[in-house]
Amino acid sequence: MANINEYFPLEEDDWFDHPRLRHWQKLKQSGAHLRVEVRRERRGLDVGNPVLFVAIATDDRERFEDELWRDELHRGLVKLGVRAISDDNESLRFGIAFANAFEPAEDRVGDGFFNSVLIDVLKQGPLADQLAEQLTHVHVLQPNRDGMPYADCRDLIIGAIRGRARDLTRDLGYPEPRANKILGGALAIYLDDRFSITERRQLGWG
């Protein structure tokens, strides 16, 4: 028999089911100050797997713990209120996280139509000026805006962006102007990753 609890949202502590997250949560509760740095090494055309380096400051000492990127760990650190070491690194962190956040939209309509709707939404959105350089390097078909597929995909994309905006302002406590800049940087990184903008430039393809 199905459990009725599956229809109710997770309690706050359920964000921290992973052992590492429970460990970091206890450290924060004991007074430690945590920050995260995301490192992703680029070698030629290859981009390595991202790694989360968590800096833990207690009294006058600081130590580091590292874990390969997992969306579960990223989301848990956000819920713990753990900021990145800089705004640029925060943009990298959320740029990587957008791949998972956009997955429901891409799964619903397929990658080609998702690409078209994504670019259409971003060109019309409030961060279009911040994304202007990246958008000039992305070429996709104009989507058909009639019908439910476009509306469903658009709503899922906008919902994913709004969710990351809430992460930045509500959970991480950034003021809105600063959060907007971080969010724009994150979307620029996501576009660079998805459409291989840096790699195409290196190859002289524009």
The residue extents of the domains of the chain are 4-202
What SS3 class is residue 21? helix
The pTM of the full predicted model, rounded to 2 decimals, is 0.89
- φ/ψ of 128, rounded to 5, equals -60, -40
What is the arithmetic mean of pLDDT over 40-60?
87
Confidence of residue 6 (pLDDT cuts 50, 70, 90): low
Residue 68 CA to residue 204 CA, distance in Å, equals: 32
Confidence of residue 17 (pLDDT cuts 50, 70, 90): confident
What is the arithmetic mean of pLDDT over 164-169?
98
Residue 29 in this model has a pLDDT that exceeds 90: yes
| Average pLDDT for the chain | 91
Asked whether the beta carbons of 19 and 72 are under 8 A apart, the reply is: no
Residue 1 in this model has a pLDDT that exceeds 50: no
Lowest mean pLDDT among 2-16, 65-79, 105-119: 2-16
Q: How far is CA 105 from CA 94, 152, 154, in A?
A: 17, 8, 8
What pLDDT score does 59 carry? 85
Specify the DSSP class assigned to residue 17. Answer: -
One-letter identity of residue 5: N
One-letter identity of residue 30: S
